[in-house]
Structure 1
Amino acid sequence: MTPLRRPVGLRFWLITLAAVVGMLVTASLGRWQLSRAAQKESLQAMLDARGALPAIDGRTLTDPASTAPEAQQALVHRAVELQGRWLPEHTVYLDNRQMQGRPGFFVLTPLQLAGPGAGVVLVQRGWVARNFQDRTQLPPVNTPMGADVRVQGRVAAAPSRLYEFQGGNSAQGSSRIRQNLDLAAYRTETGLALAPLTVLQTGPAGEAGDGLQRDWPVVGAGVEKHYGYAFQWFGLCGLIALLYVWFQIVRRFIRPRSQPAA
C-alpha cells in the first residue's frame, strides 16, 4: 500500500499563499479587537476612579490653570456642581442629534457662575424632539430664571462634531439651530468668558422642570462587543486553517483507505 500523491503545481502555492494571508489578516483583526477591549476596560476603570472623586465647582473649570491640555484632560468625566444663572439669549440647538434612536436637538445654554468675576460654563442641558413639519421651529424649553440655579453633571469636552457641507451653519451667529458648535468661535461671537470645557447636565428627564431628556451615552461601554468581534475573527482564522489542511493536505497527499494500491 503506497500513498497516492498528486503533483504540486502553481495552483497549490497560490491557495497556500491566500490561506496564509487570510489567517494573518483575521488573526491580526482579532488581536486588534482584543486591544480595543483592553482600552475600553482601562477607560472604564479611569471613569470609575474619577467618579469616586469629590465633585468640583465651576471655578475649577474657569481657573486659568485649567486651560492647559493636560489639566483639561484630567478634569474630563469628573463630577461637577455649578451655581449661577442661565443666559437663555445665547441658547444653541445642535441639529441631527439622536437620543434613544430618535433625532432631535441637543440644547446648549451658557451658565453665568455666581460670584464676582466668575466665568461662564457652557452646559449641554439635554435632548428635545424637533418639529418635522417645520424644521425651523424651535421646541419649547423651560429655562429657570434667577441667580440661584444649581446644575449637577460631569465635565465633558466640546460637543461632538457631525459632518456638514461647506458653508454650513455652525459659524452663523444669527442662527440658533446649528449643525456643530466651535467653542472658540462661539466665545468670540457671544463675548462670554467661556470655560474651555463644557458640562453634561445629568439627572432624570424633567427633573429640572425643563422637559429635556438626559440619557447620555455611557462612555466606555461596548467591551463585550469587542470580545465578540475578536471571537469571530479568531474563529474565521481557525476555519481557514481547517479548510486548508483538509482540502490541500489531507485530501491531496493522504490516500483514502478504501482506494486500492496502484
Structure 2
Amino acid sequence: MDSPDTKPGYAGKLLMLFTLVLFAALVKLGFWQLERAEEKRELLASLEEHHQASPLSMDSLLARQADDLEGYRLEVTGEFIPGITVLLDNQVLDGQVGYKAFRLLKVDGYQSLILVELGFVPARHDRATKPRIDDIDGHLTLKGRLYRQKLNPLSNTLAAEAGNPMRIQALNIPSLATQLQVDIVQLVLQPDSLPGTSLPRRWTPVNMPPEKHLGYAAQWFSLAAALALLVIFYVVKSRKKQSELRD
C-alpha cells in the first residue's frame, strides 16, 4: 500500500531547530571548559615560577605593586598594629563555615601596611558573637606568599561592621584602607609560619583546578554525543517506519 511522503510539520521543525541549538551549545560549553582548563594550567605554572624566584623585599614590592606579583614570596620584619583584626565572612574550609582572619603588619621603616593572613577561624552558632583572636606582640620576621583575594563581581562591598574584630563581607583593600584611614599594600601575605597562632592557612590560588574543568568538559561532550545518538536513532526509526508504510 502506497503512502504519501511524510514531512515534518511546524512542530517537528521547531524540535529539530531546538535540538541543533542544544547540540551546538553543549559542544561550545565543552570547548569553553577546555579553554578554562588551559588558562588554569598556565596560571598555576606562572605562580610556580614566581614562587621559585628570590623573595621580594618591601622596597621591590612597593616599586612593583601595580604589576602581577601574585605567587611571589616576600620577607619582611615588623610588628602588628594593635587593636585591629579583620574577619572575612562566609569562608569555607573542609566543609566548615567560618572566617578568614587578617591583621595589619607595620613593616620597619615603611608607612604602608600589609595585610597578613592569620588563618581560618570557625564561625560560632551565634553570629552576634564574633570569635576572638589572640594578640601577637613584638617584632617578628615573616616569610610567605603574596596573593590577591578574589572579589565577587556581583558584590565587592566591604560592608564593615564596627568593633574589633571587624567583620567584613569582601576583602576590598582600597575600601578597607579608606575605612581605617591608612595606606595598605594591595596584596595579602600568607606566611609560611606565624608565631602565636595555629590557625590553618591553605594556599588556594584557583577556585577550581584544571582537572575539574576537564571533567566538566567530558560531561558536556558526553551529553552532546548522547543527544546526537538519540537524534540518529530517531531518524533511523522514522525512516524505517515510513519504508514499512510504503510497502
Within a 5 Å distance, the mapping from 1:167-246 to structure 2 comes to 169-170=159-160, 172=162, 176-203=166-193, 208-219=195-206, 221-246=208-233
For residue 106 of structure 2, the aligned residue among 112, 123, 139 is 112
1:253 partnered with 2:239: yes
What is aligned with 1:93? 87
Provide structure 2 residue ranges, at least 5 long, that are not aligned to the other structure: none
What is aligned with 2:135? 143
**Inter-partner Cα distance in structure 1 for 2:209 and 2:4:** 50
For the 8 Å contact 2:85–2:165, the answer to whether it is kept is: no
Identity %: 25
From the superposition, tell whether residues 212 and 197 of structure 1 become closer, same or farther in structure 2 (CA, over 3 Å).
same
For the 8 Å contact 1:4–1:254, the answer to whether it is kept is: no
TM-score by structure 1 length?
Answer: 0.79
What is aligned with 1:52? 52
From the superposition, tell whether residues 218 and 198 of structure 1 become closer, same or farther in structure 2 (CA, over 3 Å).
closer
1:102 partnered with 2:96: yes
Alignment partner of 1:83: what SS? strand
1:95-148 deviation line (CA, Å, top 9, x unaligned): 22222221222111111112x345321112211123324632432x3333112x
Letter in 1 for 2:230: L
For the 8 Å contact 2:161–2:167, the answer to whether it is kept is: no
1:164 Cα offset (Å) = 6.8
Letter in 1 for 2:190: L
1:78 Cα offset (Å) = 0.8
From the superposition, tell whether residues 145 and 88 of structure 1 become closer, same or farther in structure 2 (CA, over 3 Å).
same
1:153 partnered with 2:144: yes
1:6 Cα offset (Å) = 4.5
**Inter-partner Cα distance in structure 2 for 1:142 and 1:56:** 28
From the superposition, tell whether residues 103 and 12 of structure 1 become closer, same or farther in structure 2 (CA, over 3 Å).
closer
**Inter-partner Cα distance in structure 2 for 1:131 and 1:13:** 58
Within a 5 Å distance, the mapping from 1:10-29 to structure 2 comes to 10=9, 11-29=11-29
**Inter-partner Cα distance in structure 1 for 2:122 and 2:241:** 69
Corresponding pairs, count: 246
1:159 Cα offset (Å) = 6.1
Alignment partner of 1:197: what SS? strand
From the superposition, tell whether residues 239 and 182 of structure 1 become closer, same or farther in structure 2 (CA, over 3 Å).
closer
CA RMSD of aligned residues (A): 3.2
**Inter-partner Cα distance in structure 1 for 2:57 and 2:156:** 38
**Inter-partner Cα distance in structure 2 for 1:3 and 1:88:** 93
Alignment partner of 1:239: what SS? helix
**Inter-partner Cα distance in structure 1 for 2:156 and 2:214:** 36
From the superposition, tell whether residues 221 and 15 of structure 1 become closer, same or farther in structure 2 (CA, over 3 Å).
closer
For the 8 Å contact 2:33–2:216, the answer to whether it is kept is: yes
